[in-house]
Every structure is written in C-alpha cells, then in structure tokens.
Amino acid sequence: MKVYFGFAISDSMFNGDCIIHRRAVSLDEARGLIAKGIVSCINPSHRATVEAVRHRLGIELPIPETPPKIALESGEAFLLMNMRSLPRLVGRHEYMPEEISVTEFSFALYTVE
C-alpha cells in the first residue's frame, strides 16, 4: 500500500468518486507507517514544523524539493498529521521550545477503497 504523508488534506487529492475510510492512528502506528516508507507531500516552507516534529516526537520527515501532486487510487492512503496549538510563524523562521512542548500531535489515516 502506498502511503502519502502531509499536514493538510484536500478534495483534489482523491480521484473522482470514491469511498474514503478515515481512522485515528496512534503515534506508534504512525511511526511504523513512516518507517515502512512514505511519499512525503510536505511543502519546503514547513521546514520549521518538520523540525518541531523531529524535536518533539523523534520522527524524521523528508522534505521534497517539489511536493508531488496526489491522485489517490484504490488501496492507497494518506497519513495526515495534525498539530494543535502550534502557532503560525509570522516574521520568524523557527518555533520556540515552549511552543513545541505544549503542541498536541495527532494522526489520521485516510484510505481509498
């Protein structure tokens, strides 16, 4: 199963009419999926967020020069990472340790039937 990874999901990621299953994923399961290999869809402008994830969760996420365009096919999945309370970076390029320490991370897996 090909698994894509990103911080946001869009209707345009799904090919035509399809059935999508969504389920919450634990941190350990997300780590396992990432370790097996993901197609990273992270935008290079999110480097500070990737650093926060590495610092807080110990997860290394690749950042492609150009994120791929996604058109999920049957059997493929998208692993979504949500970050709660991590502020938008305005006028700076990194998060403060205090901001990272209070951030809540969660994961969801969207699978196309």
The average pLDDT across 26-42 equals 96
107-39-54-26 Cα dihedral, nearest 10 degrees: 20
Tell me what pLDDT residue 93 has: 63
How confident is the model over 5-11, as a mean pLDDT? 93
Percent of the chain topping pLDDT 70: 86
Confidence of residue 54 (pLDDT cuts 50, 70, 90): confident
CA–CA separation, 61 vs 38, rounded Å? 9
Q: What's the pLDDT band for 87 if we cut at 50, 70, 90?
A: low
C-alpha torsion 17→21→26→32, nearest 10: -60
CA 96, CA 99: separation in Å to the nearest integer? Answer: 5
What is the C-alpha separation between 94 and 16, in angstroms, rounded?
A: 38
Rounded Cα distance, 48 and 91, in Å: 13
> The whole model's pTM is what?
0.86
